[in-house]
């Protein structure tokens, strides 16, 4: 079967021995489950299925139960994960997507699974292209989805990117396998639904998912080339100091616009820990400010001009409310170690704490960097601030190091 060959080829030449598969109950993920099960029967990876119930629709529980019954019939272990984190504010699809990946990553790690397959198709890719085209996206936004992506130590695979939704449904019909149709797929308040309907209209003009897929792949090749040159540029102009990223200002200004944009985006992501860098007008405004020599606050970071350098440090307000226990991770990138005592907590040093560090000026770090640095507190009493010269037996270890910064350029 051609679809089976497409799926197995994605995992060549070293397929995993055990593979997780996320199944919502819709046609795409159901087809992926059936194809992977066929592969398992032919000697492929042992399967473990999972369904995320976002708890946003009353039908979701029954849809998850439908998947459970299907997996039981196939002899595939299955679990249902529940998300209860929606606050009613912000972008619901984006929040649900981030929560889904977090839950799937945690589930995979807990089951010693290093690989999870997702049901994204060529049709999904075409819909995404149209959505981003409407937002005037650039090369990165219009590029093809990557066939695999590592998140929190788990590799997520997209083995159906060459298959259209209709080809998968035809396969399911031929096998007599039922799937669930999410009623929100007809709700035009969702951007993806409108894109799906537009794609149907474009097909009458000879523009189908396969052709859009080729276009996005062509753009992906351009994207990868740009990031290759951005990595070379970053190696020449970037260095790390006390958790701050330092760029040679003149060197940065001499970069071509598309290369400079990528260097800045990856720099802000590395400092902030955000999954995505700023885009659109926010990014344009930052690049203008940098060119004019103006300081800027963006994406949880401060961008400061210091002599010949452009210093990107954490914004104090972005970490002011963060707390962590000694030895655990603070702000996603620092771990402080030292004499243990009850009542200790890791929090930002702040302006008040910085005044209690007599050797802070000897560190050579600007005030903004010190304020956002991790410190050890006992109530209102400052115990230690390693980056500000007040060690008292404590040390600060940066978890996202130089290697992580440069590796990010080749992981898109």
User: Do 241 and 346 share a domain, yes or no?
Assistant: no
Q: Are residues 152 and 36 in the same domain?
A: yes
**180 and 73 together in one domain:** yes
Considering the domain architecture, whether residues 269 and 196 belong to the same structural domain is answered as no
- Residue finishing a domain among 209, 236, 270: 209
**Domain total in the chain:** 3
pLDDT at 316: 98
Domain check: are 63 and 150 in the same one? yes
pLDDT at residue 185 in the model = 67
| pLDDT string in tens for the chain (412-residue length) | 689 999 999 999 999 999 999 999 999 999 999 999 999 999 999 999 999 987 667 788 899 999 999 999 999 999 999 887 666 565 666 777 888 999 999 999 999 999 999 999 999 999 999 999 988 888 998 999 999 988 888 999 999 999 999 999 999 999 999 999 876 666 677 788 888 888 888 988 888 999 999 999 999 999 999 999 999 999 999 999 999 999 999 999 999 999 999 999 999 999 999 888 888 889 999 999 999 999 999 999 999 999 999 999 999 999 999 999 999 999 999 999 999 888 999 999 999 999 999 999 999 999 999 999 999 999 999 999 999 999 999 999 999 999 999 999 987 6
Q: Are residues 340 and 375 in the same domain?
A: yes
For residues 200 and 237, membership in a common domain is answered with no
Nearest by Cα to 171 from 10, 40, 15, 6 = 6
Residues 237 and 365 both lie in one domain: no
Q: What 3-state class would DSSP assign to 309?
A: strand
Domain end call among 156, 191, 209: 209
In sequence order, the β-bridge partners of residue 117 are 21, 157
Binding site per annotation, positions for ATP: 24-29
Same domain assignment for residues 19 and 147: yes
**Binding site, annotated residues:** 24-29
Whether the bond between 59 and the residue before it is cis, its omega within 30 degrees of 0, is no
pLDDT of residue 2: 87
* Burial class (CB within 10 angstroms; exposed 0-12, middle 13-18, buried 19+) of 358: exposed
- Same domain, residue pair 181 and 267: no
CA distances to 12, 24, 35 from 29, rounded to whole Å, are 21, 6, 10
Q: Let me know whether 242 and 173 are in one domain.
A: no
Give the 3-state secondary structure of residue 95: helix
What is the DSSP annotation of 117-168?
A: E---BHHHHHHHHHHHHHTT--HHHHSPPPSEEEETTEEEE-TBTTS-HHHH
Domain that holds residue 382: 317-398
Which distant-in-sequence residues (6+ apart) come within 8 Å of 316 by Cβ? 348, 350, 351, 368, 371, 372
CA–CA separation, 412 vs 402, rounded Å?
Answer: 17
Which CATH number belongs to the domain containing residue 293 in this structure?
1.20.59.20
Residues 111 and 228 in one domain: no
Q: How many CB atoms lie within 10 A of CB 40?
A: 16
Inter-CA distances, 393 with 188, 261, 376, 384, Å: 60, 41, 11, 8
In this structure, the chain runs to a length of 412
Looking at 209, 231, 257, which one is the last position of a domain? 209
274: left (phi over 0), alpha (psi -120 to 50) or beta: beta
């Amino acid at each position: 079967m051609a679809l089976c060959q497409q799926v197995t080829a994605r995992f060549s030449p070293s397929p995993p021995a055990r593979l997780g598969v996320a199944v919502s109950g819709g046609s795409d993920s159901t087809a992926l489950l059936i194809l992977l099960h066929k592969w398992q029967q032919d000697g492929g990876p042992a399967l473990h299925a999972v369904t995320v119930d976002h708890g946003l629709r009353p039908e979701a529980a029954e849809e998850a139960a439908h998947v459970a019954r299907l997996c039981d019939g196939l002899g595939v272990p299955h679990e249902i994960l529940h998300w209860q984190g929606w606050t009613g504010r912000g972008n619901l699809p984006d929040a649900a997507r981030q929560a889904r990946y977090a839950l799937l990553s945690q589930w995979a790690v807990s089951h010693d699974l290093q690989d999870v397959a997702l049901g994204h198709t060529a049709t999904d890719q075409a819909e995404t292209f149209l959505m981003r085209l409407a937002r005037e996206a650039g090369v990165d936004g219009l590029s093809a989805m990557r066939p695999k992506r590592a998140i929190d130590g788990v590799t997520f695979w997209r083995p159906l990117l060459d298959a259209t939704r209709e080809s998968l449904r035809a396969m399911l019909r031929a096998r007599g396998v039922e799937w669930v149709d999410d009623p929100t797929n007809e709700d035009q308040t969702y951007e993806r639904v409108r894109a799906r309907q537009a794609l149907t209209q474009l097909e009458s003009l000879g523009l189908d998912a396969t052709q859009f897929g080729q276009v996005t792949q062509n753009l992906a090749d351009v994207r990868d080339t740009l990031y290759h040159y951005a990595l070379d540029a970053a190696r020449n102009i970037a260095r790390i100091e006390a958790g701050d990223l330092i760029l040679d200002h003149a060197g940065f200004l001499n970069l071509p616009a598309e290369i400079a944009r990528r260097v800045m985006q990856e720099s802000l992501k590395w400092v902030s820990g955000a999954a995505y860098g700023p885009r659109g007008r926010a990014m344009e405004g930052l690049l203008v400010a940098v060119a004019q020599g103006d300081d800027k606050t963006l994406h949880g970071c401060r961008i400061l001009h210091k002599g010949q350098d452009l210093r990107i440090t954490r914004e104090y307000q972005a970490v002011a409310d963060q707390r962590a226990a000694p030895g655990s991770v603070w702000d996603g990138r620092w771990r402080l170690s030292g004499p243990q005592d009850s009542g200790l907590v890791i929090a930002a040093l702040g302006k008040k704490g910085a005044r209690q560090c007599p050797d802070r000026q000897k560190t050579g770090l600007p005030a903004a960097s010190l304020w956002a640095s991790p410190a050890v507190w006992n109530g209102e009493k400052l115990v230690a601030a390693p980056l500000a010269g007040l060690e008292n037996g404590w040390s600060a270890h940066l978890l996202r190091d130089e290697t992580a910064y440069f590796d990010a350029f080749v992981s898109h």
